[in-house]
Amino acid sequence: MRMHLVFGTGLVGSYLAGNLALTGHQVRVIGRDKTIKALTKGLRLSDYQGNAAQVPAIYQYHSREQDIVEVIWLTVKCTSLNLAVRELRALVKTGSIVICCQNGLRAVHQMRTAFPNCKVFSAVVPFNVVRLEDGTLHRGSEGRLTLPKEIRRVLPELSKTLNSELLQVRLVSDINAIQAAKLQLNLSNAVNALSDLPVKQMLEDRGYRKVIAHLMREWLEVASTNRIALAKVTKVDGKWLPFILSLPDFMFRRVAATMLDIDPTVKTSMWWDLQQGKPTEVEDLNGEVVRQGVLARNYCPANKVIIDLIYEANRQRRETGSYKALSASELLNEIKIKRLEKSSYKI
């Protein structure tokens, strides 16, 4: 059986490593010492549908095992990719299989440039993972781990052997369109971080939904101009999401009940990054919209203002230990102002 290495032991990486172990794969990890120590004691996985399982111990990768590692799951955030490239140079070999699980659109290109002799694939992780008080890694929202069909040429067994109640897998013909659609959904991450609310509570507020709708409209406009295809990854086509998000609360609850069918404690990874004073992925999400907007000659003021506000929140967090949460009306007002002035944001 192939040896799988999970590079990055954050919430998603640890959940993936746990599922690999649970489904009988040989797995090793590279990541934070504290997290690896916890993994060696075993871990518990659960999900929002009530499934749960206890996973046996997972151990750290050692250099003496280098010759048997065939599959590398890259689960660090976009902000850590440069560091990951440097560390992986001692691990990868010709023919190594690297699976990039990052948000945004650029990770796979960076890894293919860095490792031209490897087989590099994109993966889309559409669900959210949180750590509960008892240490359980909990998948708090729906979605299947999505991989390109061409991965079957090198890992023909993966979609069956990795599939479980706690992690469903699907293969698609156009992973780029899935990533572009996921980017549309991820534009809400920064709003969640700035609101300092759980995702469910944020979505129950029409004001915050209208902010997200502004961000999505800009992405849909520049994607259309630049001929970037977006797959359908939700029950309704993504082009209708801005309209649905803008509906009055009572209509939204009826039309989009499944959007609220998430764990009430879930917050996005960008919220966690801000809380811990870490760099965020805003440049890879909202920043991608702005970069594509330059090509489309579209100013994208809503996404620009969100970028500026995330940087300001991060500055506040570094200097004072906390940052000021922003109300929906404050965010909407900032977007209105930004439309009337030139942004100082540099692309």
Which residue bears the tokens 């959904």? 185
Residue 12: which of 110, 129, 103, 141 has the closest Cα? Answer: 129
Mean of pLDDT over the chain: 92
- Count each helix (H run) and each strand (E run) in the chain, helices first: 15, 12
Q: Is pLDDT of 69 > 60?
A: yes
pLDDT tens digits along 72-122: 999 999 999 999 999 999 888 888 999 999 999 999 999 999 999 999 999
| Confidence band of 63 (pLDDT split at 50, 70, 90) | confident
Q: Which residues contact 210 (CB under 8 A, 6 or more apart)?
A: 245, 246, 328, 332
User: What percentage of the chain carries pLDDT values higher than 90?
Assistant: 77
Question: Which pLDDT score is estimated for 261?
Answer: 80
Q: Is pLDDT of 344 > 60?
A: no
Question: Which pLDDT score is estimated for 67?
Answer: 57
Q: Is pLDDT of 343 > 60?
A: no
Give, in degrees to the nearest 5, the angle at Cα 211 between 234 and 227.
55
CA dist., res. 133 & res. 251, Å (int) = 35
Contact 78, 287 (CB under 8 A): no
DSSP 32-61: -HHHHHHHTT-EEEEETTS-EEEE---EE-
Give, in degrees to the nearest 5, the angle at Cα 166 between 6 and 160.
75
Question: Which pLDDT score is estimated for 65?
Answer: 61
pLDDT tens digits along 122-162: 999 998 888 888 999 999 888 899 999 999 999 998 988 99
Higher-pLDDT residue of 174, 347 = 174
CA dist., res. 205 & res. 303, Å (int) = 19
3-state secondary structure of 267: coil
Question: Which pLDDT score is estimated for 66?
Answer: 57
Which domains does the chain show, CATH number per domain? 3-173 (3.40.50.720), 178-338 (1.10.1040.10)
Provide the angle, in degrees to the nearest 10, between the axes of the packed helices 206-225 and 188-195.
150
Question: Which pLDDT score is estimated for 338?
Answer: 81
Taking residues 304-330, what's their average pLDDT? 96
CA dist., res. 262 & res. 48, Å (int) = 7
CA dist., res. 208 & res. 195, Å (int) = 8
Taking residues 206-231, what's their average pLDDT? 97
What pTM was estimated for this model as a whole? 0.89
pLDDT tens digits along 240-292: 999 999 999 999 999 988 888 888 888 898 999 999 999 999 999 999 999 99
Question: Which pLDDT score is estimated for 346?
Answer: 47
